[in-house]
Amino acid sequence: MQKGIKLQTKHLESLIELHNITGTFARNIHHLFSGSDVRVLMDVLKAVYLPYESFKQRYGQMERAILSSEIAGIDLRGAVIRGVGAQGVELSETVRRMEESIPQVIILLEAAAERCISFTGGSEADELILALDDIMLKYISTLQETLKSLRTVCGVDYGGDGSGRKEMEKKDGNQNARRVDSISNEEEWSMVQGALQILTVADSLTSRSSVFEASLRATLARLSTTLSFSAFGSSLDQNQTINNNEDREP
């Protein structure tokens, strides 16, 4: 499975490289049609970009597969139960993994947006957004599972259904009471710090996601004004237009 994803990633990268070469070729021959009817130029461009159309129709599928594989490679192991006195350490290490995963995920999302623009010129933006939504839902679901493991390790709950929990409470009530008594002040303080770190992680995820969303919206808005040939590829120089616009921005 991993090998197949790597091949698919290489496949898309090769398509992007070929598409860029085709774009350069299209720009170089543009002056040859300066005295021709615009429909002649459009017919030529349609023929130039036509071989990519079938691949662009599968862009969303390829992007989902690539992102799913990359997200799966991020270390988001849940917490595991250790001996008494080690809950704080496990909490800290797990929260650290959650915190470190945020910039990694944002980098992956930004790379996906770049692939979409490079290969489709923004014509498959809808597929990109659907792929990003799917991946973010999976990522958030993984974070939720990690939080559940922390609750179990820290003794907040036992996991499982409510009936199982009540059974455990009846059976091990005295043992849990002794366990709570055995938690040192240092361990309790570590758990408080861990809880505060979790709030920081949530705030960081919200902030970084908002910045990425705003950037993506702005990029797609600029692209929408240059998709004059989106029916059969990209315009002659959409990427160059975007770069020029960014250079003029303060």
pLDDT tens digit sequence for 5-16: 667 778 888 888
CB 182 within 8 A of CB 79: no
Q: Residue 241: which residues within 8 A CB-CB, separation 6 or more? A: 222, 226, 235
Q: How far apart are CA 66 and CA 9, in angstroms?
A: 6
Mean pLDDT to the nearest integer, 132-155: 88
Q: Residue 96: which residues within 8 A CB-CB, separation 6 or more? A: 197
The residue that leads in pLDDT, 88 or 142, is: 142
Q: What pLDDT, in 10s, does the model give residues 40-84? A: 888 888 888 888 888 898 999 999 999 998 998 898 887 776 655
Tokens 């659907």 belong to residue = 130
Q: What pLDDT, in 10s, does the model give residues 188-244? A: 777 778 788 889 999 999 999 999 999 999 998 888 766 544 434 444 444 444 444
Contacts within 8 Å (CB) and 24+ apart, 66-70? 66/5, 66/8, 66/9, 66/12, 66/112, 67/108, 67/109, 67/112, 67/131, 67/132, 67/134, 67/135, 68/5, 68/135, 68/138, 69/2, 69/5, 69/9, 70/108
Q: Say how far residue 241 (Cα) sits from the centre of its chain.
A: 26
Q: Give pLDDT, residue 170.
A: 52
Q: How far apart are CA 103 and CA 112, in angstroms?
A: 14
Q: What are phi and psi of 76, to 5 degrees?
A: -130, 45
CB 21 within 8 A of CB 119: no
pLDDT band at 122 (very low <50, low <70, confident <90, very high): confident
Across the chain, which distance is largest between two alpha carbons, in Å? Answer: 91
Q: Residue 204: which residues within 8 A CB-CB, separation 6 or more? A: 99, 102
